[in-house]
């Protein structure tokens, strides 16, 4: 394959207008998942759960693969897998070190199970590959409705526990003393995270969930510490990555996930540079009085 | 005046390790009350009882007219200074904001009220200049001022302080303890101040509770910080020296409090 055909495979904008109409649902799905990922991601960062997201997504993959094998609903399968993993982590890993080792144990087990189920499956190969790398192109209206409904539920629940969850995430000892139900909130958040991971897997696949749930929030945190700005930027970055990724991917022949992850990564790199330039200049919001 | 904190026949024991037994205590509004003792003597557990995080073996503890409960609105709590990681996603004013409404459900709507209160509190502790700086980039002393502001957010009747001066330099020790004392007198709040070092607060303290070796003594610093009383508490001879308004305790026995993992040698330490 020469350079021209590679570029042709990655970027091609022939018949773009017609394609756009065809993938309307996917674009909406991408926007919804960007919104969800951006919101949930800020708490993933505050609670230091990046590794947990990865662990949950592997179990979610196993659940989806099992559903595929027995001919059941894939979304439902991945939901079961990820919520089970999230609850397990929430119940067992109270301390950070515990949590990381439990994730390290669960993750390869989940991936192994998933591979087992996929090897037993005799259907289309594209279905298998899709679980790992995403398959947003084929979102139909019903799927979109289910996705949007689930996302609305997760966001509403997150809004309801927003302040105490934030308190418990950034200042757990004091939150406990002030009567915030720290343990319960941790479990509720793990369930919300599990659902978000399962939904995101439909778009970017099990291997790339981090690009949706971690990278945008991490990028936002490089450039600001103001809570409202962090949330707003995180959402904007995530939606830009998903919707932008889908729009770019339309013409090419390769899956959508590389576009989404690359955009997400570039945003992070830019934010990191901006953040370090500001740190070098010593800009951190402190008022300096003239002497 | 009616006491705001009361303990009656309070005992606390972890396994075979007795921390204290049959403790009767009343702390009045406006009183600066210090809790002293070596590591592992149950100072922090004493605070946890008042916070409602630790059950008593026997006896009872009341706050105002009610039994102690977790999350009581009467209490403000200043934890041990523990530095935030440099990239903690929170600014100084957000830390104070946690004290204002961090425990409430839902999102913060109607921001102006909360913002005004946060500005007041920052002003009160002299932290306005770094209100927008990420907490991880502030010094230990600055962080501890914010902790004071955070604890005062609800106008507490009782201010519980767990070694709030630990790892601060002398200047910040004085500034933070003066702030706490101000709240004690200006708002007539009771202050319960846990520390292993009485000197930074010696000018403010009304009474002390000294815990050691499963025994305790309550009284004014003059009554408790004497060679006789401390020798009796520790069960061996220790010498208390008063010099220039400071109190030096010499000859503290090693590991006075049994076989506890984090008991450090305290011999010769200034207490």
Q: What is the pLDDT of residues B49-68, one digit of tens each?
A: 999 999 999 999 999 989 99
Predicted confidence (pLDDT) at residue B266 exceeds the cutoff of 60: no
Task: Tell me whether A163 touches chain B (CB under 8 Å).
Answer: yes
**Predicted pLDDT of residue A130:** 77
Tell me the chain B residues in contact with residue A286 when contact means C-beta distances shorter than 8 Å.
129-130, 132-133
Predicted confidence (pLDDT) at residue B151 exceeds the cutoff of 70: yes
> How large is the average pLDDT for residues A80-93?
88
| B185 within some domain | no
| B145 within some domain | yes
**Nearest residue of chain B to residue A275 (CA atoms):** B87
**Predicted pLDDT of residue A239:** 96
Helices A182-204/A50-69 angle, 10° precision: 60
Contacts by A3-11 with C-beta closer than 8 Å and gap 24+? A9/A252, A9/A253, A9/A254, A10/A252, A10/A254, A11/A248, A11/A251, A11/A252
| Domains annotated on chain A, with CATH | 24-207 (1.10.3470.10)
Task: Tell me whether B128 touches chain A (CB under 8 Å).
Answer: yes
Query: What residues contact residue B206 under an 8 Å CB cut-off, 6+ apart?
Result: B31, B32, B33, B220
Spatial separation of the C-alpha atoms in residues B161 and B151, rounded to whole Å:
9
What is chain B's mean pLDDT, rounded? Answer: 89
**Predicted pLDDT of residue A287:** 83
**Predicted pLDDT of residue A89:** 87
**Predicted pLDDT of residue B260:** 40
CB contact under 8 A, B102 and A46: no
Question: Which pTM does this prediction carry?
Answer: 0.89
**Nearest residue of chain B to residue A166 (CA atoms):** B102
ipTM: 0.87
| B44 within some domain | no
Q: With left for phi above 0 and alpha for psi between -120 and 50, is residue A287 left, alpha or beta?
A: beta
Q: Which residue has the higher pLDDT, A206 or B256?
A: A206
Tally the domains of chain B.
1
Query: What residues contact residue B116 under an 8 Å CB cut-off, 6+ apart?
Result: none
**Predicted pLDDT of residue A94:** 61
Percent of residues, chain A, with pLDDT higher than 90: 52
What size, in residues, is chain A?
291
Spatial separation of the C-alpha atoms in residues A80 and B170, rounded to whole Å:
56
What does the block give as tokens for A107? 């993750």
Which of the four pLDDT bands, split at 50, 70 and 90, describes residue B263? Answer: very low
Spatial separation of the C-alpha atoms in residues A184 and A181, rounded to whole Å:
6
Share of chain B residues as helix, strand and coil, in percent rounded to the nearest 5 = 30, 25, 45
**Predicted pLDDT of residue B104:** 93
Task: Tell me whether A276 touches chain B (CB under 8 Å).
Answer: no
Task: Tell me whether A183 touches chain B (CB under 8 Å).
Answer: no
**Nearest residue of chain A to residue B105 (CA atoms):** A161
Spatial separation of the C-alpha atoms in residues A112 and A128, rounded to whole Å:
14
Of the residues B98, B146, B158, the best mutation for testing chain A's interface (the one with the most A CB atoms within 10 Å of its CB) is B98
Task: Tell me whether A287 touches chain B (CB under 8 Å).
Answer: yes
Distance (Å) of CA B65 to CA A178, A235, B77, B188: 19, 48, 19, 17
Which of the four pLDDT bands, split at 50, 70 and 90, describes residue A136? Answer: low
Spatial separation of the C-alpha atoms in residues A196 and A257, rounded to whole Å:
17
Weakest mean pLDDT among A67-76, B26-35, B201-210? A67-76
Predicted confidence (pLDDT) at residue B243 exceeds the cutoff of 60: yes
What is chain A's mean pLDDT, rounded? Answer: 88
Using one digit for the tens of pLDDT, what is the confidence trace for B177-233?
Answer: 999 999 888 889 999 999 988 999 999 999 999 999 889 999 999 999 999 999 999
| B116 within some domain | yes
Q: Which residue has the higher pLDDT, A236 or A289?
A: A236
First to last CA, chain A: 67
Task: Tell me whether B260 touches chain A (CB under 8 Å).
Answer: no
**Nearest residue of chain A to residue B91 (CA atoms):** A225
Structural domain for B98, as ranges: 90-152
Task: Tell me whether A174 touches chain B (CB under 8 Å).
Answer: yes
Tell me the chain B residues in contact with residue A176 when contact means C-beta distances shorter than 8 Å.
53, 70
């Amino acid at each position: 394959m020469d350079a021209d055909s590679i570029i042709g495979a990655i970027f091609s904008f022939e018949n773009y207008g017609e394609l756009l109409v065809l993938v309307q649902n996917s674009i909406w799905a991408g926007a919804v998942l960007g919104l969800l990922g951006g919101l949930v991601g800020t708490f993933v960062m505050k609670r230091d759960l990046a590794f947990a997201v990865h662990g949950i997504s592997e179990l979610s993959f196993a659940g989806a693969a099992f559903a595929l094998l027995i001919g059941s609903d894939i979304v439902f399968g991945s939901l079961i897998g990820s919520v089970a993993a999230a609850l397990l982590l929430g119940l067992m890993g109270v301390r950070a070190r515990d949590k990381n080792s439990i994730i390290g144990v669960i993750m390869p087990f989940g991936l192994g199970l998933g591979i087992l189920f996929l090897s037993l499956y005799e259907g289309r190969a594209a279905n298998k590959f899709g679980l790992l790398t995403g398959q947003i192109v084929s979102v139909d209206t019903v799927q979109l409705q289910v996705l949007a409904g689930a996302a609305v539920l997760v966001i509403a629940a997150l809004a309801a526990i927003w302040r105490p969850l934030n308190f418990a995430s950034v200042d757990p000892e004091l939150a406990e003393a002030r009567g915030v139900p720290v343990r319960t909130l941790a479990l509720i958040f793990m369930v919300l995270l599990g659902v978000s991971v399962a939904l995101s897997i439909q778009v970017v696949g099990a291997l790339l969930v981090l690009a949706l749930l971690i990278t945008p929030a991490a990028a936002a945190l490089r450039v600001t510490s103001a809570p409202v700005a962090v949330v707003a930027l995180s959402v904007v970055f995530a939606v830009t990555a998903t919707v932008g990724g889908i729009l770019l991917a339309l013409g090419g022949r390769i899956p959508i996930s590389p576009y989404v992850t690359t955009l997400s990564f570039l945003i992070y790199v830019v934010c990191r540079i901006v953040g370090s330039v500001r740190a070098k200049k010593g800009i951190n919001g402190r008022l300096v009085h003239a002497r | 005046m009616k006491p705001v904190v009361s303990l009656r026949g309070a005992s606390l024991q972890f396994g075979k390790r007795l921390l204290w037994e049959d403790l009767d205590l009343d702390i009045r509004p406006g009183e600066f009350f210090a809790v002293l003792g070596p590591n592992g003597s149950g100072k922090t557990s004493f605070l946890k009882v008042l916070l409602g995080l630790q059950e008593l073996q026997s006896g009872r503890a009341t706050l105002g007219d009610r039994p102690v409960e977790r999350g009581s609105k009467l209490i403000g709590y200043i934890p041990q200074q523990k530095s935030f990681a440099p990239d903690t996603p929170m600014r100084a004013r957000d830390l104070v904001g946690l004290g204002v409404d961090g425990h409430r459900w839902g999102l913060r709507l109607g921001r102006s009220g909360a913002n005004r209160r946060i500005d007041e509190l920052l002003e009160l502790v002299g932290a306005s200049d770094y209100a927008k700086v990420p907490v991880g980039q502030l010094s230990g002393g600055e962080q501890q001022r914010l902790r004071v502001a955070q604890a005062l957010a609800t106008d507490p009747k009782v201010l519980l302080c767990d070694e709030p001066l630990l790892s601060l330099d002398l200047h910040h020790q004085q500034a933070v303890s003066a702030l706490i004392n101000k709240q004690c007198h200006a708002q007539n709040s009771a202050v319960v101040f846990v520390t292993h070092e009485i000197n930074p607060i010696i000018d403010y303290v009304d009474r002390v509770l000294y815990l050691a070796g499963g025994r305790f003594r309550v009284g004014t610093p003059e009554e408790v910080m004497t060679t006789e009383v401390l020798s009796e508490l520790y069960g061996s001879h220790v010498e208390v020296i008063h010099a220039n308004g400071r109190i030096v305790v010499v000859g503290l026995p090693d590991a006075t409090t049994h076989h506890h993992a984090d008991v450090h040698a305290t011999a010769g330490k200034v207490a």
